């Protein structure tokens, strides 16, 4: 128990972690409570709402299961192969889920839609055409978004298996299935449930993508019902009730996942580059090459289509696009810094709680994912209600957008930071405590070197997500000073779809560049 050995460091962990948790709860459960209080009368659930709940849960479950199950072999192949362009491919895995929704929809449709590349190809060889609209379309789009995310999470798990374990396994002649069972399976047990929960939450709150690719109202999610209640009916009671239902679904799933996961306990290593002796046979090489090629094709083709779609509009974006991009960049960087600080504080709290009473740690871990489950519409209205008596929410628009997005990106950062922090605490905590290291020294010597990679990745994700956010921005938009996503919508409303396509591409490009810069920093000291 390192907290007991050095009370000052321990106190800091409790205070910072507690504050982060309080912020999370305020923006999630607090927001729903506030909206419910403001409502005149409680809402009631209808039969279509229950249908929406069922569809939401089912598509999110399938999307998450598919994403994680496909990510395991892909990450496994990427983890044990080195080839030219590997670094770029691993970076590009960050691209799909950072795309603005409409860009992603058009990208997926350009490949899989009725007049997409796949159908053109099938038509050319006289094969029957496919129609993706419906559940297959929803799953296709969600896997396109989240397979790369899950792959990166699992890849990080691989990177945390110490090189010494691979060497020992090779010396003992352990290969194939036995190797998987002894080294890879424990790591997957630690990482995969969290990845599953994260993807489930992302998909459970999907709305525009699910609807457009779902082909119609059969693909109604809870988020759509919340939007309708909030925007069209202004029925706050109903919106709060639906939001609470969405929370219950997501929290239940997150708790289940937190319960299923178990630390890999593979022990400490010296952090050297792992050399892999397994999978050197021709068949294994061919299989890995095929997996990587298929994965790359599936992920890169819609990206390429999105790129081609946006290029013609780049020249027509208008002069206002650059100040808007500048505003968004500032918001993104602020959100990233804040998000990392919050995730670090919360992860520290979870590790400290786990050392005392495991269920409390698990509950906090699940609560930390909850900001993904809060509807941006509900959060926005709640913030508006809470702040209006104090300040003009519009005048504080940019800081608010940064704060809310920091919280929205928190689940990603937490998911990435928690497993390595846990391992580091277990492997080095007692040593650090016995050496009498203070909080600063521990941070510098123990945590940061081990957390650099996830910090870079998580910071990149937070920055990119904040860059592209529109959900919360809408209520606080300052006239004449739009962020880039708002600027894009302005172009759309003026019917300038081509220019909007260009500006959306610029947005996607900037988001990805930010992400790639953070990620490159995180991986700069990577062994090999």
217 binds other proteins (CB under 8 A): yes
79 binds other proteins (CB under 8 A): no
133 binds other proteins (CB under 8 A): yes
381 binds other proteins (CB under 8 A): yes
Q: Rounded to whole angstroms, how far apart are CA atoms 197 and 257?
A: 6
- Part in contact with other proteins (CB under 8 A); list of ranges 64-72, 102-110, 270-278, 436-444: 102-110
Which residue in 280, 388, 444, 525 binds other proteins (CB under 8 A)?
388
Which residue in 194, 214, 274, 420 binds other proteins (CB under 8 A)?
214
Which residue in 68, 71, 78, 106 binds other proteins (CB under 8 A)?
106
> Which residue is it, tokens 């929809």?
105
Which residue in 61, 228, 396, 433 binds other proteins (CB under 8 A)?
228
Which residue in 7, 85, 177, 232 binds other proteins (CB under 8 A)?
232
313 binds other proteins (CB under 8 A): no
Q: How many CB atoms lie within 10 A of CB 107?
A: 25
Q: Rounded to whole angstroms, how far apart are CA atoms 244 and 131?
A: 35
Which residue in 78, 99, 110, 258 binds other proteins (CB under 8 A)?
110
The mark string for 446-485 relative to other proteins (x by CB under 8 A, - otherwise) is ----------------------------xx-xxxx-x---
Instruction: Select 465 or 500, whichever has its Cβ closest to other proteins.
Output: 500
Which residue in 231, 280, 356, 525 binds other proteins (CB under 8 A)?
231
The mark string for 282-311 relative to other proteins (x by CB under 8 A, - otherwise) is ---------------------------x--
Instruction: Select 163 or 385, whichever has its Cβ closest to other proteins.
Output: 385
128 binds other proteins (CB under 8 A): no
Q: Rounded to whole angstroms, how far apart are CA atoms 46 and 411?
A: 31
**At its nearest, how many Å lie between other proteins and the CB of residue 108?**
11
Angle at CA of residue 507, ends 31 and 89, nearest 5°: 105
Which residue in 73, 259, 271, 318 binds other proteins (CB under 8 A)?
318
86 binds other proteins (CB under 8 A): no
Q: List, as one string, the DSSP characters of 347-398.
A: HHHHHHHHHH-HHHHHHHHHHHTGGGTS-HHHHHHHHHHHHTTTS-TTTTHH
Q: How many CB atoms lie within 10 A of CB 127?
A: 10
What SS3 state is found at 229? helix
Axis crossing angle, helix 185-204 with helix 397-434, rounded to the nearest 10: 160
Contacts of 187 (CB under 8 A, 6+ apart): 157, 158, 160, 161, 264, 266
Which residue in 158, 487, 515, 518 binds other proteins (CB under 8 A)?
487
Contacts of 113 (CB under 8 A, 6+ apart): 119, 132
325 binds other proteins (CB under 8 A): no
Q: Rounded to whole angstroms, how far apart are CA atoms 349 and 21?
A: 9
**At its nearest, how many Å lie between other proteins and the CB of residue 235?**
10
**At its nearest, how many Å lie between other proteins and the CB of residue 496?**
6
82 binds other proteins (CB under 8 A): no
Q: List, as one string, the DSSP characters of 185-225.
A: HHHHHHHHHHHHHHHHHHHHT--HHHHHHHTSGGG--HHHH
500 binds other proteins (CB under 8 A): yes
Q: What is the Cα gyration radius of the chain? A: 23
Instruction: Write the DSSP symbol of residue 442.
Output: I
User: Environment class of residue 33 by beta-carbon count within 10 Å: exposed (0-12), middle (13-18) or buried (19+)?
Assistant: middle
Contacts of 285 (CB under 8 A, 6+ apart): 81, 279
Cβ–Cβ under 8 Å, residues 420 and 455: no
Tokens of 128: 């029957």
**At its nearest, how many Å lie between other proteins and the CB of residue 284?**
41
Which residue in 196, 207, 247, 457 binds other proteins (CB under 8 A)?
207
Q: Rounded to whole angstroms, how far apart are CA atoms 352 and 2?
A: 9
- Part in contact with other proteins (CB under 8 A); list of ranges 83-91, 99-107, 508-516, 518-526: 99-107
Which residue in 486, 505, 506, 514 binds other proteins (CB under 8 A)?
486
Which residue in 74, 195, 201, 212 binds other proteins (CB under 8 A)?
212
Which residue in 86, 114, 280, 356 binds other proteins (CB under 8 A)?
114
Q: Rounded to whole angstroms, how far apart are CA atoms 284 and 274?
A: 18
Cβ–Cβ under 8 Å, residues 461 and 409: yes
Q: How many CB atoms lie within 10 A of CB 249?
A: 20
**At its nearest, how many Å lie between other proteins and the CB of residue 144?**
16
Binders of other proteins: how many residues, by CB under 8 A?
57
39 binds other proteins (CB under 8 A): no
- The separation between CA 508 and the C-alpha centre of its own chain, rounded to angstroms, equals 16
Which residue in 48, 267, 281, 399 binds other proteins (CB under 8 A)?
48
Q: Rounded to whole angstroms, how far apart are CA atoms 14 and 25?
A: 16
Q: What residue ranges bind other proteins (CB under 8 A)?
A: 48, 51, 102, 105-106, 109-110, 113-115, 133, 207-208, 211-218, 224-225, 227-228, 230-232, 234, 309, 318, 320, 381, 384-385, 388, 394, 474-475, 477-480, 482, 486-487, 489-498, 500
């Amino acid at each position: 128990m390192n907290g007991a050995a050095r009370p000052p460091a321990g106190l800091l962990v409790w205070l910072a972690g507690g504050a982060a948790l309080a912020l999370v709860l305020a923006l999630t459960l607090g927001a729903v409570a506030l909206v419910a209080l403001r409502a005149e009368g409680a809402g009631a659930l209808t039969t279509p709402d229950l249908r929406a709940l069922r569809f939401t849960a089912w598509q999110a479950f399938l999307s998450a299961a598919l994403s994680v199950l496909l990510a395991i072999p892909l990450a496994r192949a990427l983890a044990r192969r080195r080839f030219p362009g590997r670094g770029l491919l691993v970076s590009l895995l960050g691209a799909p889920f950072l795309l603005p929704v409409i860009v992603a929809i058009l990208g997926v449709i350009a490949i899989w839609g009725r007049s997409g590349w796949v159908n053109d190809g099938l038509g050319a060889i006289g094969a029957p055409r496919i129609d993706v609209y419906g559940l297959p379309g929803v799953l296709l789009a969600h896997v396109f978004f989240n397979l790369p995310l899950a792959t990166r999470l699992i890849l990080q798990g691989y990177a945390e298996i110490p090189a010494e374990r691979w060497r020992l396994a090779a010396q003992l002649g352990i290969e194939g299935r036995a190797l998987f069972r002894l080294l890879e399976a424990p790591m997957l047990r630690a990482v995969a449930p969290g990845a599953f929960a994260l993807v489930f939450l992302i998909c459970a709150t999907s709305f525009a993508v699910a609807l457009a690719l779902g082909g119609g109202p059969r693909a109604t999610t809870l988020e759509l019902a919340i939007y309708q209640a909030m925007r069209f009916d202004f029925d706050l009671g109903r919106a709060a009730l639906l939001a609470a239902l969405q929370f219950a679904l997501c929290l239940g799933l997150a708790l289940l996942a937190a319960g299923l996961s178990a630390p890999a306990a593979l022990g400490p290593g010296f952090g050297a580059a792992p050399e892999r002796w397994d999978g050197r046979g021709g068949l294994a090489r061919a299989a890995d090459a095929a997996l990587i090629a298929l994965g790359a094709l599936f992920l890169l083709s819609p990206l390429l289509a999105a790129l081609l779609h946006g290029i013609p509009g780049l020249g027509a974006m208008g002069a206002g696009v650059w100040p808007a991009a500048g505003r968004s960049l500032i918001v993104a960087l602020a959100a990233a810094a804040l998000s990392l600080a919050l995730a670090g504080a919360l992860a520290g709290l979870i590790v400290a709680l786990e050392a005392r009473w495991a269920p409390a740690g698990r509950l906090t871990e699940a609560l930390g994912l909850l900001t993904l489950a809060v509807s941006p519409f509900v959060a926005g209205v709640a913030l508006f209600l809470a702040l209006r008596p104090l300040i003009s929410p519009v005048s504080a628009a940019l800081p608010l957008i940064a704060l809310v997005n920091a919280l929205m990106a928190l689940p990603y950062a937490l998911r990435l930071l928690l497993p390595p922090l846990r391992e580091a605490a277990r492997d080095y905590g007692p040593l650090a405590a016995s050496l009498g290291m203070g909080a600063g020294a521990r941070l510098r010597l123990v945590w940061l070197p081990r957390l650099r990679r996830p910090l870079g990745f998580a910071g990149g994700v937070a920055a990119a997500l904040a860059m592209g956010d529109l959900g919360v921005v809408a209520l606080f938009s300052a006239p004449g000073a739009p962020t880039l996503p708002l600027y894009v919508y302005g172009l759309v409303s003026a019917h300038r779809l081509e220019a909007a396509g260009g500006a959306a591409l610029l947005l996607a490009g900037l988001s990805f560049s930010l992400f790639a810069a953070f990620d490159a920093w995180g991986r700069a000291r990577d062994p090999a």
